[in-house]
Chain A
């Protein structure tokens, strides 16, 4: 009994220190976060999200989240909590300092506009690079920076032009990575970021929490394959165990292939195989997918996954989810930066096999978290579309009313947003950037995605409110002009989504009408 009492006390004591309870009181005592007020605040400093100051805030919340999600250990984390508090107190100071530094940098670079500096988030260029790759890079950079500036000019005159050029192929800006001429300040910052990643990855036990924090605002291209494998939970944090795990998993996957793949023409599975077989040639980027080797790899991955997950089986849309992993992993082995000109036949067969297995496992991990999106009647999607509707009605009543008034149902446009994780609405390189964050967020694909969708819809509020016809509204919502979106658009979207999540996630009453 005595020990019982002690335990009780322990829990009581603990509870008062668990961040979750603090949050609860906070939510009950204070009036709901007013998104409008908050929104204007954000508006006045629109470049904030990508400044180091903001990154600090993000990481603070991440820490906060991780503490709440693991309340059992919270009793021991007093120091961390104190550190967190100190950090949030210092945010303003940090931000001011960051702005000052960036201003100084830009002056040294002869760039009169300080705001320009923090916005683009190009992936850093590897410090040392073979000259051949360098020249091809330069060629690409040129075209990219041109298209990029044209986009920037457009958005400067009109924050959200109704008809942006759709002619740009989605993958055209995938090379946005290498630092453009005259942005050495950026490269410096990015180079130090890359160093941090490399350090973390090389540690005997990678600090996954730290890696998540760092990855939230984008992962540099050279370390993206390894970082994704770690964040998805495919590879262990322990650096020594990684090679063995890779080997074991690759072997396991090919044992599946051996075991199941011949059954694709059996009566029980031929429908599944047939569907996969007719869907893959219809995917994009065509130039990549239509290469016979790639087509075969996609068919195998999807068929094996479907057979091993009979609750959902293969559902159209799952095929799209293979692409980002495959593209990220294969880019590690080619000098080609452009997916459209990537020639898979130049990649050695054993490397390609490993990429196939890695893609399968990472995709499986992703799907584990969203399987109810694809089971019978797709309950996960139905629920999320409903939640999106509720959320939007709270954060932007006029847009919600407008859609309602013109009888546009959320399911009519947002079904695809959920089923394909916005991949049909965004260029591939944007999806890859988006997934950096999804993989660093707890429940990124299943939960945070909802807030991204809300931010995405509201992003078009001006165009939506101007459209006063059902058909035009729906046509617009099903063909959103994102063709020349870059990483900075995704960063803004994510910042907004993060803000929404912060305001509404654990306060269901806030978003119930």
Chain B
């Protein structure tokens, strides 16, 4: 069975929020739209977003890491939000594992959001139905789009290519390889939700300079006579 998912590379995410707004603009006019904004030009502007980029500081000065952390629905393999839905509005697609909400069936009871430990479901406060990341279901299943564009909007937009997309059940897919080789991990593994989305950790490149590196025979200083001569008496100055 196919399980489509995102693998998010924290090693290169610079926290630019491209995924946040590219998602918003695609989906507000798409199958999952609208994505309503409340008080768009007033105090306390808020609205529905399927995707948020958060920032964490790890460690204390001067050994501080600033970690940008994009978060959207993780499309769990065992999504706790689905069985609790009383109407069947929340469901997991059998063909590709994407977790979706059918707004026409949703009664806005919010129980699914209680049953999600990740806080990725957001109630549309105007339409009063639950909304969430669809992995751009209307892009990835649209066969009229060219193959290269059959990806979630956030993946296409991401300037650092920090969002890999593919089938985590296919061991040869880019995402599976990344998870395997780069230490991909799931969020809150303690709940057994088996999130399909994974995260790739920060990696550090170090450089080690040895004493030998600094003492070499081809040092260009050896080509210079570093003593500075200036105004010294020369043979010609000497009166015999």
A pairs with B: no
| Contact surface of B with A, Cβ cutoff 8 Å | none
